[in-house]
């Protein structure tokens, strides 16, 4: 298990992003930077191992914006466009380190990625495609560091330990009828694109410090939690702090933040969350 670690919300918007193309509503025209929402993704830096959750269509811009240069593994939540469209932008992570990069997901997600990206995952990959190894997981798994051998003259104390690994729990959720995964690392869990959490999954979320949770908008939706539902779920899970993500242009940050209980906040792009050891 890692010590304290840092979580960066790379994107916090729904599938269209906010502003929405062609929309001139109050949120889409807002000057508040927290009302600009790129597609959802998350970066977890445990010090020794770095984990990326999803590679949506804004992935490249998000990594450049945050000046992030290292990824040890990708955890895929599900195969919708807004969570996978940036997969090809993982290629630069192979320019200086040829080791394969593991990508984890639910068996159905792994099947869908294999079908959609045949030139990456097929039997005859395109030369230059990212060397991604898809791993179908159903229980706790361990992600090792992908750190390359020490460059000559480097002080080993400046690099993460090469034998480090971090334990990750996949959390089964439902996005309408589709099984998707949330992920738990230590006292942190990230649950996006969900409108139902089975009891067995709730059991695996006990004792959380920080929860990041799908909350689409105030009004109901068939495949995402509404704000009221998300508050109820946050209460049931009982984390010390909860951040909402995957929000539409129906959510004006300053206005909605004020209406939430004190331990629940709206996430925003670029927010860094410190997660202490439980």
Binding residues vs Zn ion (CB under 5 A): 80, 82, 193
**Which residue is nearest to Zn ion, using beta carbons?**
80
Three-state DSSP string of 202-265: HHCCCCCCEEEEECCCCCCCCCCCCHHHHHHHHHHHCCCEEEEECECCCCCHHHHHHHCCCCEE
Nearer to Zn ion, 75 or 166 (CB): 75
For residue 35, report the phi and psi dihedrals to the nearest 5 degrees: -90, 0
Distance between CA atoms of residues 54 and 40, nearest Å: 8
> Whole-number minimum distance, CB 174 to Zn ion, in Å?
11
For residue 3, what are the CA distances in angstroms to 64, 188, 266?
Answer: 26, 12, 25
Closest CA to 205 of 174, 238, 168: 238
Nearer to Zn ion, 147 or 248 (CB): 248
> Whole-number minimum distance, CB 80 to Zn ion, in Å?
4
For residue 41, report the phi and psi dihedrals to the nearest 5 degrees: -160, 165
Does residue 130 contact residue 97 with C-beta atoms inside 8 Å? no
DSSP-H helix ranges across the chain: 59-66, 81-84, 107-116, 118-121, 199-203, 227-237, 253-259
Nearer to Zn ion, 166 or 230 (CB): 230
> Whole-number minimum distance, CB 14 to Zn ion, in Å?
7
Nearer to Zn ion, 5 or 43 (CB): 43
> Whole-number minimum distance, CB 76 to Zn ion, in Å?
11
> What is the token pair recorded at 252?
């004006």
Nearer to Zn ion, 49 or 53 (CB): 53
- Bridge pairing between strands 241-245 and 264-266: parallel
Nearer to Zn ion, 80 or 253 (CB): 80
> Whole-number minimum distance, CB 25 to Zn ion, in Å?
20
- Bridge pairing between strands 210-214 and 241-245: parallel
Nearer to Zn ion, 48 or 82 (CB): 82
> Whole-number minimum distance, CB 79 to Zn ion, in Å?
9
Does residue 225 contact residue 214 with C-beta atoms inside 8 Å? yes
The DSSP secondary-structure symbol of 119 reads: H
> Whole-number minimum distance, CB 175 to Zn ion, in Å?
5
């Amino acid at each position: 298990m890692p010590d304290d670690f840092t979580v960066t919300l790379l994107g916090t918007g729904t599938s269209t992003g906010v502003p929405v193309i062609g929309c001139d509503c109050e949120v889409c025209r807002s000057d508040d930077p927290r009302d600009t929402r790129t597609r959802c993704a998350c970066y977890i830096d445990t010090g020794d191992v770095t984990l990326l959750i999803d590679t949506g269509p804004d992935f490249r811009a998000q990594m450049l914006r945050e000046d992030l240069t290292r990824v040890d593994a990708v955890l895929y939540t599900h195969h919708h466009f807004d969570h996978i469209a940036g997969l090809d932008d993982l290629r630069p992570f192979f320019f200086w380190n040829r080791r394969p990069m593991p990508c984890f997901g639910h068996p159905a997600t792994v099947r869908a990625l294999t079908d959609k990206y045949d030139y990456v995952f097929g039997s005859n990959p395109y030369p230059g495609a990212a060397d991604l190894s898809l791993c179908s997981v159903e229980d706790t798994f361990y992600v090792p560091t992908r750190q390359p051998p020490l460059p000559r003259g480097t002080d080993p104390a400046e690099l993460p330990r090469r034998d480090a690994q971090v334990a990750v729990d996949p959390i089964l959720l439902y996005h309408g009828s589709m099984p998707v995964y949330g992920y738990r690392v230590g006292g942190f869990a990230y649950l996006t694109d969900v409108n139902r959490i089975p009891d067995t999954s709730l059991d695996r979320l006990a004792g959380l410090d920080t929860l990041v949770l799908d909350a689409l908008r105030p009004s109901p939706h068939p495949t995402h939690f509404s704000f009221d539902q998300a508050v109820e779920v946050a209460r049931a899970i009982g984390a010390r702090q909860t951040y909402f993500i995957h929000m539409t242009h129906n959510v004006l940050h300053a206005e909605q933040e004020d209406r939430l209980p004190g331990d629940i906040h709206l996430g925003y792009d670029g927010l860094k969350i410190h997660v202490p050891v439980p």
